[in-house]
């Protein structure tokens, strides 16, 4: 496997993580990066870099971003966003990975891309739920803003510094998984007493 292929995998997985924060922000970043020559899309995914996609992703990004600031709508969006984020993560990885057989490319896209988007999305849903319970929803706009910033930074880093971005994502993922494991096993021990 050559360095270009490894970089394309890092870009794809990193963009998938960004899809877990927001579905359309990374797709818009991919679109703009493709148009500026910063991102090369794999065969069959050139439509992501089209001007029609710019309009569609731009409008969807605005609607999605504003929707998360409406108290009741943000929870409805979370329900819709979870499968959408996973699909967007799969597309992000598949559209950036080059020089792999279709079987390996789609396996990687499904497992790593969809899995990473699902992990990040699940974490944001849990954070939003915790915010709802602890602040009666008053803290949700702050969570929404942090998710938007996280999506933008992750998507930009994925394009500009994919290895660094992937390393940061791995570090944060390990931290979240360990913290969740401690929380779950701590509760199981309490129930057993």
Give the pLDDT score at 55: 98
Residue 150 sits at the vertex; the CA angle it makes with 146 and 154, to the nearest 5 degrees, is 175
Give the pLDDT score at 125: 85
Q: What is the pLDDT of residues 103-119, one digit of tens each?
A: 999 999 999 999 999 99
Give the pLDDT score at 140: 85
Give the pLDDT score at 191: 66
Sketch the domain layout of the chain as residue ranges: 3-167
Tell how far CA 9 is from the center of its chain.
15
Along the chain (193 residues), what's the average pLDDT of each consecutive run of 10 residues? 89 96 96 96 95 97 92 81 94 94 94 95 86 83 92 97 94 84 69 62
3-state secondary structure 12-24: HHHHHHHHHHCCH
Give the pLDDT score at 138: 85
């Amino acid at each position: 496997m050559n360095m270009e292929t490894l970089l394309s995998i890092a870009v794809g997985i990193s963009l998938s993580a960004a899809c877990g924060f927001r579905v359309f922000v990374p797709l818009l970043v991919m679109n703009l990066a493709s148009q500026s020559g910063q991102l090369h899309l794999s065969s069959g995914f050139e439509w992501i870099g089209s001007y029609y996609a710019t309009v569609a992703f731009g409008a969807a990004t605005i609607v999605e971003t504003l929707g998360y600031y409406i108290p009741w709508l943000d929870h409805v969006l979370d329900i819709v966003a979870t499968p959408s984020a996973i699909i967007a993560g799969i597309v992000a990885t598949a559209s950036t990975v080059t020089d792999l057989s279709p079987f390996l490319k789609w396996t990687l896209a499904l497992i790593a891309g969809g899995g990473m988007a699902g992990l990040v999305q699940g974490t944001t849903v849990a954070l939003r739920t915790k915010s709802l319970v602890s602040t009666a929803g008053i803290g949700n706009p702050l969570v929404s803003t942090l998710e938007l910033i996280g999506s933008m930074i992750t998507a930009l880093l994925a394009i500009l510094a994919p290895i660094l971005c992937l390393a940061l994502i791995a570090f944060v993922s390990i931290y979240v998984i360990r913290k969740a494991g401690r929380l779950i096993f701590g509760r199981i021990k309490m129930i057993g007493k």
